[in-house]
Amino acid sequence: MLDEIERRGIYCQVKAGSHYALSNEPLQTTTLNAYAVKIPRTFVFRSQGKVKILANKLSYPALVKTFAKGEKSQRFIVDSQKSLLAMAEGVKHELDGMIVREFIEGDIDQCAVIGNKVYNIQRKFEKGVIQPAKKAKMSSLSSKDTETAIHAARICGCDIATVKMCKGYVLKVKPLVDFLLYNRKTGADLLADVTELFAEKTGFVKGEGK
């Protein structure tokens, strides 16, 4: 569908083919890394036996995600080699794969990217827990992190996206933005920005029609 939209010259905020990287986490990670976006140290594999090989090479804590039947099935933070091995032993069902990633401890910058504009809300990391988005507060980003957020969104084929970062590392890109949340937290009108973006991309001038 995205391919057909693009072929007909219709503007869309997600590009043809972007759904692959947006729906397959290892592909997204690899793609970001390939385009020099800073990501945490990440390992992807299918066989649980690989965990034993990795366990003494990782720094802890580490984030572990398991995937089955095309979707994320479980998510753990493990704080030691022993707990990583125990977690792997406990997985009994057939997996599509596992991701083990260096866990970056710090506040999460959750950025809404709308074209070249970025709005950031920060979720505090306290006592080992990341606060939920509804408790996040608006926070400014360095120009470098702002560029990173925009670059990450573009690499994944999005003009509008939510980019999650921590200490400058990109953790995830999603093609959706919770506009109401950001409007509330930032006082800005993100939907007006979206309208402006679409107008710019389509050459629409208000009052003059198409």
What residues line the site for other proteins (CB under 8 A)? 3-4, 7, 17, 20, 24, 26-27, 29-31, 33-34, 36, 38-39, 41-47, 50, 53-54, 67, 70, 96-97
Residue in this structure with the two tokens 């493990």, named with its chain if needed: 78
For other proteins, the closer CB: 53 or 199: 53
CB of 175 to other proteins, least distance (A): 17
Angle 143-155/25-34 helices, nearest 10 degrees?
A: 120
Q: What distance in Å separates the CA atoms of residue 181 and residue 183, rounded to the nearest whole number?
A: 6
For other proteins, the closer CB: 19 or 124: 19
For other proteins, the closer CB: 45 or 198: 45
What is the number of residues in the chain?
210
CB of 160 to other proteins, least distance (A): 23
40-60 burial: b if 16+ Cβ within 10 Å, else e: bebbbbeebebbeebbeebee
For other proteins, the closer CB: 85 or 133: 85
DSSP percent split of the chain into helix, strand, coil, nearest 5: 35, 30, 35
For other proteins, the closer CB: 164 or 185: 164
CB of 51 to other proteins, least distance (A): 10
CB of 12 to other proteins, least distance (A): 16
The three-point CA angle 24-29-43 to 5° equals 100
CB of 10 to other proteins, least distance (A): 16
Q: What distance in Å separates the CA atoms of residue 29 and residue 34, rounded to the nearest whole number?
A: 9
